[in-house]
Homo-oligomer: A and B are copies of this chain.
Amino acid sequence: MKKADVVIIGGSAAGPTAGISCRRRYPDKSVILIRKEEQVLVPCGIPYVFGTVGSPEKNLIPDALLDKNGIELLKGEAVGVDREKKVVSLADGEAVGYDKLVLATGSQPLELPIPGLDKENVFSVKKDVSYLNQMLDTMNQVKKVVIIGGGFIGVEFADECRKHRDCQDCSVTIVEILPRCLKLALDDEFCQEAQDVLVERGIKVLTDKKVTSITGDGKVSGVKLSDGQELPADMVIVGVGARPDSRLAETAGLEIGPTGGIRVDRHMRALSDENVFACGDCAEKVSFFSGKPSRLMLASIATGEARVAGANLYGVCYSNPGAVGVFCTIVGERAFGCAGLGETTARKEGYNVVVGQSVGPDRHPGSMPGMANVNLKLVFCREKGLLLGGGASGGSSIGELMNLIGACIQHSVTAYDMALFQMGTHPALTASPIAYHMVNAAEMAVKAMK
């Protein structure tokens, strides 16, 4: 029987990161990573396979990453864990012994409770190369794409469909059950702006619409809504979220949390077995802010948890502060981002909220090429002025700008501190030092707090 000090199950964002984190700290420990996929997709890159990137094969996490870090790769499906004997059993009958086990089994797409999902040309979003190639082939042949779900995945798929070589004369429709796309992540004004960009790009957006069934005779022919409307469709993509894939943990008798993830402590150790750790989408999460169960699932949270898990395997040194939630995306040329709590969420959570806003160019002077207008909103708690979150739209600098906001949240920075932030600025790279967005928005909040 094969054996390693550390066995990791799962090869997407969390698994390899946990392995690397472990090997960096415990170079004498052997690590085997078991995964069922022949090749592993960059998870956030999946929508981009359909337009910008062009094929799943160009969107892979290279296995060299494992090799370079001294992690042995074992391809196979883990089907059981004997926690007493500390052995993982695989579908092909093989078994692998472990001293410490890391579960990084990810998530499964949520399925809609409606009839017709089994019709031909109805797809969900799976991290599977051959499945994605089948979607691509289908996309080359169809004319009417309906996307169910207007979250990040749905919006990104829709935008990429417009870029896809063979789909530029397709109709693309998003159907969203909430009043706006991206509503779970962004405040209304940013959702509306993103929707406006989608519409400008020729995408039809239907909000406040519930899908009741998918119709068709074998092949899909339409999507029925609760208001009686039927949208014609020859391809349907369902992107309505995901749930933790904790099936293996459940069969192994590990405790499962209220959102369906494997229950772990702040060290990412399973509550019910000190030799088992879990990280990534399969692990139960709590909010950085309230400590309540959180349904956030992001590759960036997954890798953060994986680093904690990997480092703690042979001696606790790190603690997971909970999920902050830093997102960004781009629709057409317009980027959108959020970090921590948006205004709506913060109010719903009961915070006494003060908001600071700053709108203006991200270059200076504004005539510098590549200039985009940034709209940044920061959300603070009135009592101490503590930063709770922020949302923004703008150009490509939004990605790292949200990370800057994220860092300030994670280190308990207040509006007063932020107003004094010493930034670096440059005409071709940032807003001006007089009107640097983060500082400006913080100043406006300080003013409003008085």
User: Contact string, A268-284, partner B, CB cutoff 8 A, digits 1/0?
Assistant: 00000000000000000
Binds B, one of A172-180, A242-250, A361-369: A361-369
Q: How far is the CB of A297 from chain B (nearest CB, A)?
A: 12
CB pair A396 B397 closer than 8 Å: yes
Chain B min CB distance to A191 (Å): 17
**Alpha-carbon distance A411/B307, docked complex (angstroms):** 22
Q: Are the CB atoms of B300 and A428 closer together than 8 Å?
A: no
A424 at the B interface (CB under 8 A): yes
In contact, A396 and B399 (Cβ under 8 angstroms):
no
Of B21, B288, B421, B424, the residue contacting A399 (CB under 8 A) is: B424
Does A287 sit at the interface, judged by CB under 8 A? no
Q: Which A361-400 residues have C-beta < 8 A from chain B?
A: 364-365, 367-370, 396-400
Partner of A424, one of B317, B402, B446: B402
- The yes or no answer to A157 lying at the interface (CB within 8 A) is no
Q: What is the bound-complex CA distance between A13 and B433, given in angstroms?
A: 7
- Is there an interface contact between A52 and B422, defined as CB atoms closer than 8 Å? no
- Tell me, yes or no, whether A426 is within 8 Å of chain B by CB: yes
Name the CB-closest residue of B to A396.
B429
Decide: B430 and A368 in contact? CB cutoff 8 A: no
Tell me which residues from 1 to 53 in chain A have a Cβ below 8 Å from any Cβ of chain B. Answer: 13, 16-17, 20-21, 24-25, 42, 44-45, 48, 52-53
State the Cβ distance, A363 to closest chain B Cβ, in Å. Answer: 9
* Segment of A58-66, A89-97, A131-139, A211-219 engaged in the interface with chain B: A58-66
Interface residues of A in 405-430 (CB under 8 A from B): 406-408, 410-411, 413, 416-417, 419-430
Known: A48-B427, A329-B429. 13 other contacts (CB 8 A): A42-B365, A52-B369, A52-B428, A299-B434, A303-B436, A307-B439, A326-B424, A328-B425, A335-B428, A337-B424, A397-B400, A407-B411, A410-B422
Counting from the closest, the 10 A-B pairs by CB-CB distance are: A326-B424, A399-B429, A400-B400, A303-B433, A300-B433, A399-B430, A299-B433, A404-B404, A411-B411, A328-B426
> Can you list 26 A-B pairs, Cβ within 8 angstroms, ordered by A?
A13-B433, A17-B433, A25-B446, A52-B368, A58-B367, A65-B434, A298-B433, A304-B421, A308-B420, A321-B422, A326-B422, A328-B430, A330-B426, A330-B428, A335-B429, A396-B397, A397-B400, A399-B425, A399-B429, A399-B430, A400-B401, A403-B421, A403-B430, A406-B422, A407-B411, A410-B421
